[in-house]
Amino acid sequence: MSDLVVNEPDRVLLREPLGGEIVMDVAWSKTEGIEEFNELFEIDPTDYIASTDYYQGMDFTRVIKRKSDGRLFGFQFWDSPGNDGMEAQYDSNAEGQGLKVEWDDEVDGITTNGVPGQVWVFLPVEPFVINSYRVVKA
């Protein structure tokens, strides 16, 4: 088991490059660690709307399903679909989840808990309903 996938009971840590590629939905057969990930998880192909605040963009949740127990975990990111002037924000959430993130001059890059690279933390998710209406053609 590599350190690219850390499968904890109540969260899943994905280290780069795997984590970033899963979050940005660009993982493919040559992504480092993808075989290990695919043994443990499935990626839900839908990006779910995660908020009702739509000013200039919106929050989405990328969801993965743990195969062993069916539990769902998600990573929230911001995007502005249809607005070419704004890029999606897939920033790591490791620091907000209690992991130590710092710049290391020796590796000339970011370390997370002393290991080189970024980490994306997937947390448990729950469904919610967004009420909406559409006009029906007469």
User: Measured in Å, how far apart are the chain's first and last C-alpha atoms?
Assistant: 59
pLDDT, tens digit (0-9, with 9 covering 90-100), for 115-137: 989 999 999 999 998 888 999 99
Check whether the bond before 116 is cis (ω within 30° of 0): no
pLDDT value of residue 92: 94
pTM: 0.89
Q: Which of 23-37, 76-90, 121-135 has the lowest mean pLDDT?
A: 76-90
Which sequence spans correspond to the domains of the chain? 5-124
Q: How far apart are CA 53 and CA 58, in angstroms?
A: 6
> 5-16 pLDDT, tens per residue?
999 999 999 999
